Structures are given as structure tokens and as C-alpha cells.
Structure 1
Amino acid sequence: MRIIVNLDVMLAKRKMRSKELAEMIGITEANLSLLKSGKVKGVRFETLSAICNALNCQPGDLLEFSKDSED
């Protein structure tokens, strides 16, 4: 079981670059890249809220639970 991060999909839908989003929400591009790749163990609600606000989406648009995938 794992959480799949669909941030890259939402960025593409919004025609936004990672660099632009990182600047908007006040985190580094490196940290945003780690989040996009799913290599983080957690994300602060404050950061998730900022991403959703910037991309005009819901947390469920960014995160997906998968029972079939293994780490």
C-alpha cells in the first residue's frame, strides 16, 4: 500500500512549471521535486494547502491511495 503523488499531472493541467509553483508557495524547487517524486515521508498541511490554493485543486487531486502497489 502506498500514496501516489499526482502533482506533476496537476502542474501539466494548469500549464505551470515546478519553479513557478515553488516560488508561489515558498519552498525550494528541490523540495518540490522530492514531493513530486513521492520520496518524502510526509507533507505539512500548510504546504498541501498552499499547493491546492496555487493550483486551484483539492488534496484528492494530488494524492491517491493505492492498495496494489508496494514500496
Structure 2
Amino acid sequence: MSPAEADDGPSGVHCRLDELLAERGMTLTRLSELVGVSIVNLSVLKNDRARAIRYSTLSAICRALDCSVGDLLVRTD
């Protein structure tokens, strides 16, 4: 298996964005407005399809949701 093929598989990390938004009664649209990231990019993250995330984006999401990185991203492997 090539490194590119390995990147197509599960990352072993799950993004809990859906759960955190629901707990806070916040929409993806509102989060997008607060953090300055497109709804499409947040949706990619929410659906565990992101390959990378900038620290500044991660920090902005955590600030907007009043959570820690460990609340947002959890290991699944």
C-alpha cells in the first residue's frame, strides 16, 4: 500500500463537532460566522474527512464552543 492509499483510510481521530454544537444549541452556520471558516470546510471536519487542521482554526473553534481540543478531537483507534 502506498502512503497516499494509507492516507485514504480512517485517521483514528473522530471530530465531535456535531455533538458539541448540539449540546450548545449552535448551528454550523453560526459557528462558521464566529470562526471565519466556511461551512463547507467545517462540514468536512465534522464528517471526519479532514486531512489536516490549522492550529489557529482549531483554537478558534474551541474558543467559540468553549471547549478544549480534547473535547473536540478524540482517538478512535
What TM-score results when the alignment is normalised by the length of structure 1? Answer: 0.90
Residue of structure 2 in register with 1:29 after alignment? 39
Matched, 1:11 2:18: no
**Residues 20-63 of structure 1: CA distance to partner in whole angstroms, max 9, x if unpaired?**
00011001111110010010101111000000000000001110
Matched, 1:53 2:68: no
- 2:48 corresponds to which of 31, 35, 38: 38
Q: Shift of the alpha carbon at 1:66?
A: 1.4
- 2:12 aligned partner, one-letter code: R
- 2:18 aligned partner, one-letter code: D
- 2:28 aligned partner, one-letter code: S
- 1:21 aligned partner, one-letter code: L
SS at match of 2:74: strand
- Could you say which structure has the larger radius of gyration? 2
Unmatched tracts of structure 1, length 5 or more: none
What TM-score results when the alignment is normalised by the length of structure 2? Answer: 0.83
How many residue pairs align between the two structures? 67
Cα RMSD between the aligned structures? 0.9
